[in-house]
Structure 1
């Protein structure tokens, strides 16, 4: 009885354990939960990366806008007196044409002027245009039929190199023309097949350049058979004689072989297209390109306003206070510094003349606006005012000193004490009595500001033969200051914005490295958990199987 009671108790206890449902445990979910807990540390880094990426994007928007502003400022900042630049709008020139005696100037002449060419006015008359010589062959019924001609001839222009053309019996009029054109670069003569009618074709020869005369040699009589030369060797049908262009500038008669003339006045090219009649003349005035200057000022206003709009977006506040979600650079010190520099530049005045004299002003949001009537008035009256306000200006008390390159930090006025030897080579330079601020270049005539001083970036050229004290006076106008401010911000190697972007990028790289490390550790942790739980599940399964077996044995015994 005692034994039976003991067995019954064991059976009851084992049966109760066996009914525990360990198979309902979500092992995968448990592992994933623990895995995600390990990964949670990456969230902080991902947030930092997202924030930095938004800032980088905003900084890049600023760079794009500042580049546009810098380009606009470049056109107005002016070059130094010793250099030239195609981007300087104040050096751009335009030819203004007016006629006398009722002449249509557009039918007679056009003029192009290079940047920086001397301004002035000229009176032109054109009595004759340069022309090419043109001669024609006889008539042929087709251009693509074999002519049955055989032999050779040479062709060129007088004083030039001739080309030999070989003709075979199977060659057509078109093929002879092609053979001549193959040598046009050397001979200076070109050929064209002219369709006179459906049954009449002619070969037309003409000089490539005007003012040239065709020269031929026809030992085999091919040109005579073509009807180009007559029995005496002269041209049978001259359509147009070669002639020189004849014109006058300020009463001086000039002859040229071309109608495109660029060697009469330095920097000017005259394109002759017609002739003037008795008592007629074309007056050419070379002056600053006023429309380009106006366009440059307006482009500057537009570029500034575009940047201003972006800058305001970074100062926007939310309805409930604090920065707007879009103002990712709210309170940014780098942008604040740039904004202050630009604002300071726009307040520049010289000799009590400010941008208001040009019709420029700020609206309530500090956007620039311009009064076109006032701007036009200044353009027509005195463009020097515009240049004075926008550009860099340089004055030297000695004509022997010129500026080649300019820096940004030197005072507005300083005196260079320059000493030279008997050969005129510079031996020393001091600034207001202080040495060590300039070095002498290898040419012996240049002085260069020492890096790290206020004169860094300046290079002067001195052509004097005696020692001198030279006073330099300079001023940086609106465009010059904004150019320097934008350069300091977006210079590809040292710009303040570029540096910030580089730092943020480096931080993001570091954060991504941290994320990779955390993820690798979490992955390893997950793999280990998966393996451990798999082993645990296997043991539980094995234990359950054993328990089931034991219960079965006990149940069998009890049934007995």
Structure 2
């Protein structure tokens, strides 16, 4: 009788057993299903790889975008040379040096603060006297905290200013009176304090918080409090004047002046003098106000750092492997957008403006093609030809009329004819270019380029009283050109963002295809599992029938 053998195999999805008279075999249904699903999803895997590659490109574009934003941000102070108190231009920053003639310490006699746009020039200052505050004191009291035992109301303040009424009760101490006066200091500008002469001697001191103004006092009712404390005498005058009030007296460039403060900000526009001590006879302070060229150097050093950072990122995207093909990390290898931006920046750097180039500033490329700055060369030209440096780097805007003053050139200066309309009362009503009055807005005598227009950032003031057409001429320096290229390229509508948006949209489309393929594969898997399960059931039923028939045959043979 032929022998019968059987084998069984199992997989994660279906277990199958088949039997035969001479051999056995197993069907791996799960492997069959997985093979069919893998064939279906193979395209999705390829598409997912494309998505991953696109994401790497997007990240690289975003890095370039960030580097360019840093680049133009650092260039903003060099891109315009407008000089006024609101300017952020490096060319508008000011520094002052103070020296002395004669036996006086310049730093001990004067300190200064200077705003951007202050007028450049040299000045001579002498200080006759400082402004001082009025200060008076009372007689000694035996205690700071004992009850004084008198009551009354008095008025106190500074001459020409506001006064306040102070009420004193008989249970109040010297400290309480001082506290009551100080509670009204914001109104009266008079401050009270207590000087402890000894353990049993305390004197009240009144001080004006403003210079050059006398303290005024009057008793309103009850006891004359200040007289009781020895601050005033029987005539009502102050008994002990520690310091008289007086104005500051000084002379600037031979012009004698006086002010009621030692902090003087209304003599030279944008300049505050802080008078510290009088200058002895025969001495003077020599003041020189100049452009703070250290700010220009600092801005150029920042530019070099930021430019090289962007350049390094571009170089990294051009790296090749040992076989000459693009390096795996160079996801933008051969990218035209990146190359065009780099070319535009290099072309701007090689611009000649008014006969000068970046080499005149000490800028050059080294053997690695990195930008370098020779600070010695820069220092020399800043000291000998600052106006040339300003023209080489920044935007310049001039007008054909002295009645139209430039407030700001913006970072994209334009040349055009500005048509100004004035009404019968001499009020400026509109500013237009080529008949379009929407390009500029009017606020009093100020003319501002409309946001979103090519004139955005430009601003002027008009002092005329008649309608007229004025020519506006602008030029762009190297820093202005670099600023505009970097800003435009990295903006929300720039070339890099266009590529980012394109790839993002493409990835969304590809991801939808992946999702559709995976969904179809999942459906196929479910259908095959159901179909193969039926096959399995049929095989098992056939095996069962075969076993039954074998049993019958074996039984007949035995009989």
Q: TM-score range by the shorter chain?
A: 0.7 to 0.9
Cα deviation for residue 386 of structure 1 reads: 0.9
Contact 2:441–2:450 (CA<8 Å) still a contact in 1?
Answer: no
Contact 2:422–2:465 (CA<8 Å) still a contact in 1?
Answer: no
CA shift in 2, pair 1:145/1:500, >3 Å: farther
CA shift in 2, pair 1:129/1:33, >3 Å: farther
Cα deviation for residue 538 of structure 1 reads: 7.1
Matching of residue 21 in structure 1 with residue 8 in structure 2: yes
Bigger drift between 348-357 and 329-338 goes to 348-357
Cα deviation for residue 95 of structure 1 reads: 2.1
Partners of 1:193 and 1:552 lie apart in 2 by 124
Partners of 2:214 and 2:546 lie apart in 1 by 120
Contact 1:79–1:85 (CA<8 Å) still a contact in 2?
Answer: no
Matching of residue 56 in structure 1 with residue 45 in structure 2: no
Map of 1:367 onto structure 2: 370
Map of 1:504 onto structure 2: 503
Cα deviation for residue 232 of structure 1 reads: 4.1
Matching of residue 160 in structure 1 with residue 146 in structure 2: no
Alignment map for 1:374-523 (pairs within 5 Å)? 374-396=377-399, 399=402, 474-492=474-492, 494-523=493-522
Residue 242 (structure 2) aligned to one of 239, 244, 248: 239
Paired residue secondary structure (2:73):
helix
Cα deviation for residue 42 of structure 1 reads: 3.4
Gaps of 5+ in 1: 1-8
CA shift in 2, pair 1:50/1:206, >3 Å: farther
Partners of 1:245 and 1:417 lie apart in 2 by 48
Map of 2:274 onto structure 1: 271
Map of 2:123 onto structure 1: 122
Contact 1:426–1:445 (CA<8 Å) still a contact in 2?
Answer: no
Cα offsets for 1:231-264 (capped at 9, x unmatched): 4434444333322111111222211111111112
Contact 1:358–1:378 (CA<8 Å) still a contact in 2?
Answer: yes
CA shift in 2, pair 1:549/1:372, >3 Å: same
Cα offsets for 1:458-481 (capped at 9, x unmatched): 8888859687795x6543211111
CA shift in 2, pair 1:204/1:456, >3 Å: closer
Cα deviation for residue 106 of structure 1 reads: 0.9
Contact 1:132–1:207 (CA<8 Å) still a contact in 2?
Answer: yes
Contact 1:74–1:88 (CA<8 Å) still a contact in 2?
Answer: yes
Cα deviation for residue 557 of structure 1 reads: 8.9
Cα offsets for 1:299-338 (capped at 9, x unmatched): 2223222322222222222222122223222222121111
Contact 2:147–2:171 (CA<8 Å) still a contact in 1?
Answer: yes
CA shift in 2, pair 1:21/1:309, >3 Å: closer
Map of 1:3 onto structure 2: none
Cα deviation for residue 486 of structure 1 reads: 1.1
Alignment map for 1:125-204 (pairs within 5 Å)? 125-139=126-140, 150-168=151-169, 171=172, 173-194=174-195, 201-204=202-205
Map of 2:45 onto structure 1: 43
Partners of 1:156 and 1:364 lie apart in 2 by 74
CA shift in 2, pair 1:530/1:246, >3 Å: farther
Contact 2:69–2:486 (CA<8 Å) still a contact in 1?
Answer: yes
Contact 1:137–1:228 (CA<8 Å) still a contact in 2?
Answer: yes
Partners of 1:330 and 1:60 lie apart in 2 by 15
Map of 1:262 onto structure 2: 265
Contact 2:131–2:262 (CA<8 Å) still a contact in 1?
Answer: yes
Paired residue secondary structure (1:488):
helix
Map of 2:251 onto structure 1: 248
- Identify, as 1 or 2, the structure richer in helix: 1
Output the TM-score relative to the length of structure 1: 0.79
Cα deviation for residue 268 of structure 1 reads: 1.7
CA shift in 2, pair 1:558/1:451, >3 Å: same
Count of residue pairs brought into register by the alignment:
536
Partners of 2:554 and 2:197 lie apart in 1 by 123
